[in-house]
């Protein structure tokens, strides 16, 4: 490894987070960097910043919907805003951190599955049982997951990561921090790559 | 000319508009497209969309200030947020459209001078006399400009362009429309170029 980890902050209900998740690990691998995936509850941060979800905003909303689809076409990945969007991702987040405590790779697999379900298969992962059932498709025991996601330490980890994110200046999704340098937005991943390649400017 | 004009919407008080203005004409020239510069009053549009200026927003503000400086360094252009920022650009806009009625090239020269004064020389162009004096440095007669910028047709043109922009979905600066396709942000100019090159995706 050539340097510290890349921090990849995202919200499971974020279309641009879904798009960013398609590329961030390849960028990390190219430069020998570990990528730490960190789902957070953007709704909690929005309460502090006074923002509202992008797609519900006048003028910005229709543009965002068009741009999301266009950005997905460019990447060649399936994309549609699912019914029930935006959705609460607290249970998916808890399962992520439950898995992350044992294996970051298993947690990433779960995160990719949540994103794929929501934005490629029109099935949001909002209810506890939906979040558990998705984990089961990856081979995790449902009752172990159901019990684990109620652990105070898991709930606390999610709260802590969301607070940490805010303290680091995270206000949107995806939000990447590399060597202390913050980059907001899927459309900045090219710059993240250049930053890693050049050491910054 | 290979196609219709590129519409380049911006606000004179927009740092990202200043950065976009450094590159948009070269992109137009590369693909044989006329670039129509269209300054608008983003404050009028923000009243409809409920947005506030970026730099005054929690978390987003500090990030934006950092990103503006970083983006300017990447382009190799001088940049600093001027005292008095954000500033009212109504008089600069009126002079722009006064000049544009006679010569779009003269209007562009004036627009570049407004941006350079504000973001490279720490002199905002907010007061009528500042806006007139800047036009004078480009060889325009101050009393002709002073009289012209009061013409109802000039004021009406600015109102009309701002309304038109809104109807086309413009909600930020810079905002580029090419063959009906909208692109928001200085960081999307690379995509504008690709769109022109490939015909879209």
Say if residues B38 and B68 touch (Cβ distance below 8 Å).
Answer: no
Kindly indicate whether the ipTM for this predicted assembly is greater than 0.95, answering yes or no: no
For chain B, the residue count is 201
Two structure tokens written together for A137: 């498709």
A107-160 pLDDT per residue, tens: 999 999 999 999 999 999 999 999 999 999 999 999 999 999 999 999 999 999
Chain B residues 163-182 within an 8 A CB cutoff of chain A: 166, 169-172, 182
Say if residues B50 and A57 touch (Cβ distance below 8 Å).
Answer: yes
Taking contacts as CB-CB distances below 8 angstroms, the residues of chain A near B172 are 60
Domains of chain A: 6-198 (3.40.30.10)
Task: Give the span between the Cα atoms of A107 and A94, in whole angstroms.
Answer: 10
Task: Give the span between the Cα atoms of B115 and B118, in whole angstroms.
Answer: 5
Radius of gyration of chain A (CA): 16
Taking contacts as CB-CB distances below 8 angstroms, the residues of chain A near B62 are 169
Beta-sheet pairing, A181-184 with B6-10: unpaired
Instruction: Please name the residues in contact with A4: beta carbons below 8 A apart, sequence gap of 6 or more.
Output: A33, A179
Contact B169 A62 (CB under 8 A): yes
Q: Which of A45, A48, A54, A59 to mutate to test the interface with B (most CBs of B within 10 A)?
A: A59
Contact B58 A73 (CB under 8 A): no
B37-91 pLDDT per residue, tens: 999 999 999 998 888 888 888 899 999 999 999 999 999 999 999 999 999 999 9
Q: Which of B59, B166, B170 is nearest residue A169 as measured by Cβ atoms?
A: B59
Residue of A nearest to B194 (CA): A74
Q: Which of B58, B74, B171 is nearest residue A48 as measured by Cβ atoms?
A: B58
At A1 the pLDDT is 45
Q: Would an 8 Å CB–CB cutoff place A55 in contact with chain B?
A: no
Say if residues B52 and B42 touch (Cβ distance below 8 Å).
Answer: no
Calculate how close chain A gets to B149, using CA atoms only, in Å: 30
Contact A63 B201 (CB under 8 A): no
Contact B49 A66 (CB under 8 A): no
Across residues B161-175, what is the average pLDDT? 97
Residue B1 clears pLDDT 70, i.e. is over it: no
Q: Which of A49, A59, A70 is nearest residue B59 as measured by Cβ atoms?
A: A49
Residue of B nearest to A68 (CA): B183
| pTM of the full structure | 0.95
Residue A181 Cα distances to A45, A122, A129, A177, B66, angstroms: 20, 34, 38, 5, 10
Say if residues A149 and A27 touch (Cβ distance below 8 Å).
Answer: no
Say if residues A190 and A25 touch (Cβ distance below 8 Å).
Answer: no
Say if residues A174 and A14 touch (Cβ distance below 8 Å).
Answer: yes
């Amino acid at each position: 490894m050539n340097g510290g980890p890349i921090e990849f902050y995202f919200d499971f209900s974020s279309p641009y987070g879904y798009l960013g998740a398609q590329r961030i690990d390849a960028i990390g691998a190219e430069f020998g960097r570990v990528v730490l995936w960190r789902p957070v509850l953007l709704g909690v941060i929005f309460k502090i910043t006074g923002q509202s979800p992008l797609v519900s905003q006048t003028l910005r909303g229709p543009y965002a919907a068009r741009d999301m689809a266009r950005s997905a076409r460019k990447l060649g990945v399936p994309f549609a805003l699912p019914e029930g969007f935006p959705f609460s991702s607290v249970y998916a987040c808890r399962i992520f951190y439950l898995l992350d405590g044992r294996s970051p790779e298993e947690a990433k697999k779960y995160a990719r599955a949540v994103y794929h379900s929501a934005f490629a298969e029109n099935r949001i992962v909002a209810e506890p049982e939906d979040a558990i059932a998705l984990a089961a498709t990856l081979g995790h025991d449902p009752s172990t997951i159901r019990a684990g996601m109620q652990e105070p330490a898991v709930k606390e980890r999610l709260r802590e990561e969301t607070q940490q994110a805010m303290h680091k200046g995270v206000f949107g999704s995806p939000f990447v921090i590399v060597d202390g340098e913050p980059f907001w937005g899927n459309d900045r991943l090219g710059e993240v790559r250049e930053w890693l390649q050049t050491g910054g400017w």
